[in-house]
């Protein structure tokens, strides 16, 4: 779409950005908001040609929780036109699949224990999937529960609230699906506890004895909800800081996908190091077992679902934080939204990623996996 004719050249907005914006703005209110934000577009010269730069602040302004009005049952925006690729899905894998690559560096006993302990979870608003992530069984409060990410129920765009009445499904290691119940969540440290009935976890993580010094070489484990693919990426711990707010995070020098959020970080002897989160810019952030145990101790005191760390006190200061955490507002835990993209606009490292196909209203479409 041509925007401006200047000195023999036309400034234009590429078709990929137009289609992406159209998916976001379907109401008259959003059209007006978009045109107001479009005044922030800047013309730049690239290789002798004039093009359009879209500031990051513009993207943040338009990407709110209601950006997709029409979602399919998997929670993805409807396909727009043929040839587009859906990116930032929960089906995108990372690292090595089970029994391949880094898995061969583990003993049979360790890899078997991991495979029998790691699960995948999804939350649903009615029949539409809201979020999907990984979790793992832990011994806690005299029973076996699933430790996972509070992003499973967090209200998108609001760091201090959960979505009420979501239905949770858990994909168990035996490939069966069962109903999960949210027992506790901490939005500030992004930790949640989910329980399931009538399933006996054979190898739950005992975090209380996992606080000894561990090897710097670690692997992050994740499980996809739809495909039941178990995967792991390996590397070592680093002293980096990333883009997330939480002051208690540490980092490993490899990246996972959204599917690995809430999964365990484990050393090569099978000891649990922490719980993984997602940073779209650098490495893999995680909370250590020491921090997790502090959060769990708070859950022990409450006995009910508790949105601690939500910053709703009249003073605006968090109701509780760990020693050394001087936060005065809830941490933000952003997760990239799925969107349709032209293959030519994919980042170079994603153009080699495998694709899977799905159908919507009889139309075949492609998504990253």
Q: Flag whether 319 is in a domain.
A: no
Count other C-beta atoms under 10 Å from residue 367's C-beta: 22
CA neighbor of 263 nearest in space, from 80, 130, 114, 135: 135
Q: What is the pLDDT of residues 224-270, one digit of tens each?
A: 999 999 999 999 999 888 889 998 999 999 999 999 999 999 999 99
CA neighbor of 252 nearest in space, from 229, 270, 269, 232: 232
Residues 83 and 53 in one domain: no
CATH number for the domain spanning 185: value is 2.40.10.120
Residues 295 and 167 in one domain: yes
Q: Which two structure tokens, joined as six digits, stand for 167? A: 């239905």
Residue 277: pLDDT band (50, 70, 90) is very high
Residues 345 and 269 in one domain: no
Question: Residue 57 belongs to what domain range?
Answer: 1-63
Q: Flag whether 324 is in a domain.
A: no
Q: What is the pLDDT of residues 118-142, one digit of tens each?
A: 999 999 999 999 999 999 999 888 8
Residue at a domain's end among 269, 289, 308: 308
pLDDT over threshold 70, residue 56: no
Of residues 342 and 214, more confidence is placed in 342
Helices H, strands E: what count in the chain? 5, 22
Residue 168: pLDDT band (50, 70, 90) is very high
The position carrying tokens 């727009």 is 80
Of residues 311 and 284, more confidence is placed in 284
Q: Flag whether 192 is in a domain.
A: yes
Res 241: pLDDT: 85
Q: Which two structure tokens, joined as six digits, stand for 148? A: 């996972």
Q: Flag whether 332 is in a domain.
A: no
**d(Cα 352, Cα 290) in Å, to the nearest integer?**
38
**d(Cα 134, Cα 259) in Å, to the nearest integer?**
6
Let me know the angle formed at the C-alpha of 185 by 261 and 197, rounded to the nearest 5 degrees.
85
| Average pLDDT across the chain, whole number | 79
Residues 304 and 347 in one domain: no
Residues 289 and 214 in one domain: yes
Res 347: pLDDT: 62
Going by their DSSP bridges, the two strands 118-125 and 143-148 should be labelled as: unpaired
Q: Flag whether 321 is in a domain.
A: no
Q: Flag whether 326 is in a domain.
A: no
Residues 215 and 344 in one domain: no
Gyration radius of the chain over CA positions: 22
Q: Flag whether 261 is in a domain.
A: yes
Instruction: Give the count of domains, the chain.
Output: 3
Helix axes 28-37 and 15-24, enclosed angle (nearest 10): 140
pLDDT over threshold 70, residue 318: no
pLDDT over threshold 60, residue 311: no
Residue 342: pLDDT band (50, 70, 90) is confident
Of residues 21 and 116, more confidence is placed in 116
pLDDT over threshold 80, residue 12: no
> Residue 133 pairs with which residues in a beta bridge?
121
**Surface-to-core class of residue 303, CB atoms within 10 Å of its CB (0-12 exposed, 13-18 middle, 19+ buried):** exposed
Residue at a domain's end among 63, 79, 109: 63
Residues 41 and 160 in one domain: no
Residues 157 and 16 in one domain: no
Q: Is the dihedral of CA 90, 131, 284, 158 positive or negative?
A: positive
> Residue 24 pairs with which residues in a beta bridge?
none
Q: Which two structure tokens, joined as six digits, stand for 52? A: 């359009």
Mean pLDDT of 9-17: 72
**d(Cα 206, Cα 238) in Å, to the nearest integer?**
25
Count other C-beta atoms under 10 Å from residue 61's C-beta: 14
Widest pairwise Cα distance in the chain: 75
Residues 206 and 252 in one domain: yes
Q: Which two structure tokens, joined as six digits, stand for 36? A: 């107001």
Q: Which two structure tokens, joined as six digits, stand for 240? A: 């980096």
**d(Cα 345, Cα 147) in Å, to the nearest integer?**
37
Secondary structure letter of residue 101 according to DSSP: G
Residues 50 and 156 in one domain: no
Res 276: pLDDT: 98
One DSSP character per residue, 62-88 reads H--TTS-SSB-TTSPBPP-STT-EEES
Residues 80 and 111 in one domain: no
Q: Flag whether 325 is in a domain.
A: no
Mean pLDDT of 334-360: 66
pLDDT over threshold 90, residue 287: yes
Q: Which two structure tokens, joined as six digits, stand for 180? A: 């999960």
Res 278: pLDDT: 96
Three-state DSSP state, 353: coil
Residues 84 and 191 in one domain: no
Let me know the angle formed at the C-alpha of 85 by 83 and 86, rounded to the nearest 5 degrees.
145
Res 50: pLDDT: 52
Helices (H), 66-153: 108-115
């Amino acid at each position: 779409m041509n925007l401006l004719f200047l000195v023999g050249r036309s400034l234009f907005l590429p078709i990929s950005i137009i289609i992406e914006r159209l998916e976001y703005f379907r109401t008259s209110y959003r059209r007006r908001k978009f045109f107001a934000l479009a005044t922030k577009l800047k013309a730049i010269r690239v290789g002798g040609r004039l093009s359009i730069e879209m500031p990051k602040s513009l993207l943040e302004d338009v990407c709110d929780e209601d950006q997709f009005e029409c979602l399919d049952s998997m929670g993805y925006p409807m396909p727009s036109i043929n040839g587009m690729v859906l990116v930032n899905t929960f089906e995108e894998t990372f690292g090595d699949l089970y029994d391949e690559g880094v898995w061969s560096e583990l003993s049979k006993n360790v890899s078997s224990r991991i495979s029998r302990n790691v699960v995948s979870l999804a939350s649903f608003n009615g029949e539409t999937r809201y979020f999907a992530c990984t979790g793992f069984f832990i011994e806690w409060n005299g029973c076996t529960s699933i430790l996972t990410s509070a992003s499973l129920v967090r209200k998108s765009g609001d760091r201090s609230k959960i979505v009420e009445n979501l239905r949770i499904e858990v994909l168990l290691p035996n490939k069966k699906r069962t109903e999960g119940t949210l027992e506790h969540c901490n939005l500030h440290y992004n930790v949640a506890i989910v329980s399931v009935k009538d399933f006996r976890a054979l190898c739950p993580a005992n975090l209380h004895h996992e606080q000894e010094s561990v090897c710097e070489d670690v692997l992050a484990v994740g499980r996809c909800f739809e495909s039941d693919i178990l995967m792991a990426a390996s590397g070592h711990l680093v002293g980096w800081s990333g883009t997330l707010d939480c002051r208690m995070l540490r980092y490993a020098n490899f990246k996972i996908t959204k599917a690995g959020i809430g999964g365990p970080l484990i050393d090569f002897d099978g000891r649990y190091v922490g719980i993984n989160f997602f940073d779209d810019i650098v490495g893999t952030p995680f909370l250590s077992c020491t921090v997790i145990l502090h959060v769990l101790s708070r859950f022990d005191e409450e006995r009910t679902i508790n949105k601690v760390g939500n910053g709703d006190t009249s003073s605006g200061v968090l109701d509780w934080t760990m020693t050394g955490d001087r936060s005065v507002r809830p941490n933000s835990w952003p997760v990239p939204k799925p969107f349709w993209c032209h293959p030519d606009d994919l980042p170079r490292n994603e153009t080699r990623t495998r694709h899977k196909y799905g159908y919507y209203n009889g139309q075949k479409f492609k998504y990253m996996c």
